[in-house]
Amino acid sequence: MAISRRGFLKGVAGGGGLLLVSGVPIANARMSTELPPQAVGLLYDATLCIGCKSCMVNCKTQNSVPGGALYKKGMTAPPYEDKGPKGDEGIWDAPQELSGKTLNIIKVYKNGTAETKDTAVNGYSFFKQQCLHCITPACASVCPAGAFRKDPGNGSVYYLADRCIGCRYCQLACPFGVPRYEWDSAWPEVRKCQLCRHRYAEGKYAACAESCPTGATIFGKVVDLRNEARYRLTLTPGTVYDFPVKTVDSTEKSRRPVARYAGGTYGLVEAGGTQNIMLSGVSFELLGFRKNIPNSDLPQLTWHYIRKILWVFAGVFAGGTAIYEFTHRQEKEGSHD
Ligand code: SF4
Ligand code: SF4
Ligand code: SF4
């Protein structure tokens, strides 16, 4: 039985959060652990990334059209971040984190003198954060309303806003800390990358890969991306290699020496495996990615844990909303001083 958003809010407001237990579709905990036959995804190779952020711009632009992961009825322009961390009114879009307006972000790691690219000590590296499109997504398994789904064909994990009840279990369940809530919206939704699934019918693919000039982000079938990643790890650093640009099977290449990779591939086994995988010259721990995620799918474990303490999440929902309303009101009152 799916719960309406209105029903959920009434339940929480009335202190009846525990009643939700009866409405949660436990079947979601038993999801496939197999890679879908036509699974697509991304390979991000940090050693090829120049930090230009074209991927972020195109992501925002292409997802602000009907069907896109950022689109809302009546939207006429991409949603820009208009406030920086210091409260400055932005003159351009410069997001610092994933948010309800930003589905994909490029960050930088720096150490010491930060002189050498893709080096842990006295070096720097770019890295990309976004939804990894888990093979067995914890976000979908815990959603009591069936608002998160995994496409059985291409494997993209997508969101149905009209089913969402705003409980934010998905945020708590995601082992990679990806989903974001639109705190500043009157009718908030959860936001995350949907692998640009709205573009496939037109023969298009992920906007971030489409606009990447170096081949740092490429799109394709997951089996091909995995083979490509494994092959790169066998190459001797300094070997000249034709890296595919935009898609894994592209004839467009970027010829350059192979960098020294640190460790293996991120996303291959974490949380039971994901459809987006990454390579880097700096270890993923140093880049801030969690490495203590079990190498088995999480939904079963997550669900059994969460359903026992549903009232905590109801409290988190009510408390978080109240705190946000309070601080937001203070901010508004402060701005009129
Ligand atoms: S990374 Fe998080 S939001 Fe993305 S599919 Fe996996 S659990 Fe869901
Ligand atoms: S696949 Fe699409 S939605 Fe996801 S990060 Fe890339 S451009 Fe953004
Ligand atoms: S477009 Fe490519 S090179 Fe530029 S920041 Fe994004 S991933 Fe890196």
C-alpha closest to that of 79 among 2, 189, 170 = 189
Pocket probe mutation, ligand 1, options 31, 98, 178, max atoms within 8 Å of Cβ: 178
Ranges under pLDDT 50 in the chain: 1-27, 320, 323-337
The CA-based dihedral angle spanning residues 249, 198, 6, 75, taken in that order and rounded to the nearest 10 degrees: 130
- Domain 5-335 carries which CATH code? 3.30.70.20
pLDDT at 82: 73
pLDDT at 337: 37
Domain spans in the chain, listed from the N-terminal domain onward: 5-335
- Euclidean distance between CA atoms 227 and 222, whole angstroms: 9
Distance 103 CA to ligand 3 centre (A): 14
- DSSP summary character for residue 120: S
Distance 109 CA to ligand 1 centre (A): 23
Sheet with 276-279, side-by-side order of all strands: 217-221, 40-45, 276-279
Residue 138 Cβ contacting ligand 1 at under 6 Å:
yes
Report how far apart, in Å, the C-alpha atoms of 319 and of each of 113, 313, 329 are. Answer: 43, 9, 15
CA angle 230, 232, 233 (to 5 degrees): 65
Q: What is the DSSP string of 238-289?
A: T-EEEEE-SBTT-S-EEEEEPPPPPSS-BTSSGGG-BSEEEE-SS-TTTTT-
pLDDT at 295: 77
| Ligand 3 lining (C-beta closer than 6 Å) | 49-55, 106, 126, 128, 211-212, 214, 216-217
The three-class DSSP label of residue 329 is helix
Give the start-end residues of each E strand in 116-258: 116-117, 123-129, 148-150, 157-159, 180-181, 190-191, 217-221, 240-244, 253-257
Pocket probe mutation, ligand 1, options 42, 133, 134, 150, max atoms within 8 Å of Cβ: 134
Distance 103 CA to ligand 2 centre (A): 7
- Full-model pTM: 0.84
pLDDT at 204: 98
Q: Which phi and psi (to 5°) does residue 232 adopt?
A: -60, -35
Token readout for 124 is 């720097």
Indicate the angle between helix axes 299-308 and 310-335, nearest 10 degrees: 80
The CA-based dihedral angle spanning residues 102, 103, 106, 112, taken in that order and rounded to the nearest 10 degrees: 80
135 strand-pairing partners: none
pLDDT at 309: 52
- Euclidean distance between CA atoms 78 and 55, whole angstroms: 14
